[in-house]
Amino acid sequence: MAKYNTGNPLLSESPRNIHHECHDQPDLSSRAEEEKRLRIRMMSLSNGSTMNSSCKDDWFNPDKYRSVEWQKGGRIYPALDCFGIVNEIRRDMGLTPWPEFAGVTKDDNGLDREARGLMADLQRCDPAPGAGIACYSGSVVTHVAIVVEIDGVLHAAECNPRTNVTFLPLARFERRFIRVEYYQ
């Protein structure tokens, strides 16, 4: 069974992990379980994490990214595009950033060409926090995103022209594309 809740109830470990997209809350979570999770988080935050503020103790903080505005080819926070947000989040998670690909956009299949070159050096994996997501329209990579965990549920963090940064449960995110692949 899946280690993480991806938003797809068929892949969940137990009924307690079923995630309902209509209200973005885990189902059947008791008050005692929520209080226990809060106590654990409070204890871990008081231990003085060395990770930066958006990702203390493996708790991803999406609030930092609410101020990001999409910019074509953007690689410097807070002006980012889909690849820019992937690297910004990777840095915040304490992961090695991938090459910047300065100036690379979807124009003339630049994103597809550079993404395929990068993917050749990476390994395909199951969805997990920090994994990059290659999104296909037909046979071309037209979008990239990154997996983050928010409240125990895996989400795709992405940046788009009209909506800027969004966090969608993986099952909902995947429905938008012909195919998605995960890489580390």
- Give me the residue spans of the domains in the chain: 51-183
Q: Averaging pLDDT over each range in 21-30, 54-63, 108-117, 128-137, which range is the top one?
A: 128-137
Give percent of the chain above pLDDT 70. 67
Mean per-residue pLDDT, 90-112:
81
Mean per-residue pLDDT, 113-118:
82
pLDDT in tens, 133-170: 999 988 888 889 999 999 999 999 999 999 999 999 99
CATH class of 51-183: alpha beta
Question: Does this model's pTM top 0.85?
Answer: no
**Number of Cα atoms under 13 Å in the Cβ half of residue 148:** 29
CB-based contacts of 148: which residues, under 8 Å, 6+ apart?
Answer: 60, 62, 89, 129, 154, 155, 156, 157, 167
